[in-house]
Amino acid sequence: MSEEPQEQPASPSSGAVQRARADLAAGREWKARERLVGHLAAEYDAEALELLGEVSYAMRDLPAAGAAWFGTTRRGKDVDESVEAWRERHGDHFAQMWSSLPRSVRELEGNKRVDALRRRAEQVGSSGGAGVGAGHGQPGQARAGQTPAGQAGAGPARAGRVGAGVGDDAGDGGPDAATVIALVLGVLFVACAVIGLVTVLGWLVPG
């Protein structure tokens, strides 16, 4: 008879996750959240990421929960609700959505949804907005503005529009010199035409 495979022990939680759970047990949700955010800025931790989503959701900060859960394999009604709120907060402006992800999530490659969001941000960045900079998906702020310009819908499930209006107010400084000159010449032409007409009528109609 073959021996039954032994169960693999679960990987222990990180110290940050353990301390965050202790904070939650003591009713300090805000402290647990700050601890997890700081931990995830330094390294990728799937358990911490999922717990951050749970804490944010419990605090009714659905956009923050959506940003955390977007980089996980977690699915469910609460995830869909939170991701939708996350998209709504940023108006489907995909670069803002990208930059709102925890840093360790942006640096991690291999997550299909996160990778798709990265590619969309790079596409928008190459078209003139601020996109994803080089080096592990860090937001590129050297090209324009504070945040990378819009990201596309392949990342955030159904997101399908790029943030509109970026740079729309460029060139709104009033009429240019050519327009003013054209108007002046038009007025002079009309004035000369009127004077000429009066002169001709004076010749044709004596007295």
Cα–Cα distance, 49 to 55 (Å, whole number) = 10
**pLDDT tens-digit series, residues 27-79:** 999 999 999 999 998 889 999 999 999 999 999 999 999 999 988 888 999 99
Q: Is 17 exposed, middle or buried (0-12, 13-18, 19+ CB in 10 A)?
A: buried
Report pLDDT for 117. 85
In the predicted model, what is the mean pLDDT of residues 155-171? 38
Q: What is the pTM of this model?
A: 0.55
Mean pLDDT across the chain: 72
Cα three-residue angle 128-132-138, rounded to 5 degrees: 150
Residue 29 zone, left/alpha/beta (φ > 0; ψ -120 to 50; rest): alpha
Report pLDDT for 11. 54
**pLDDT tens-digit series, residues 87-124:** 899 887 778 888 888 888 888 888 888 888 888 877 76
Report pLDDT for 47. 93
Report pLDDT for 29. 94
Q: Is 195 exposed, middle or buried (0-12, 13-18, 19+ CB in 10 A)?
A: exposed
Higher pLDDT, 177 or 172: 177
**pLDDT tens-digit series, residues 2-41:** 444 444 444 567 889 999 999 999 999 999 999 999 999 8
Higher pLDDT, 198 or 131: 198
Report pLDDT for 103. 86
Report pLDDT for 50. 93
Report pLDDT for 20. 94
Cα–Cα distance, 5 to 182 (Å, whole number) = 88
Q: Is residue 85 over pLDDT 50?
A: yes
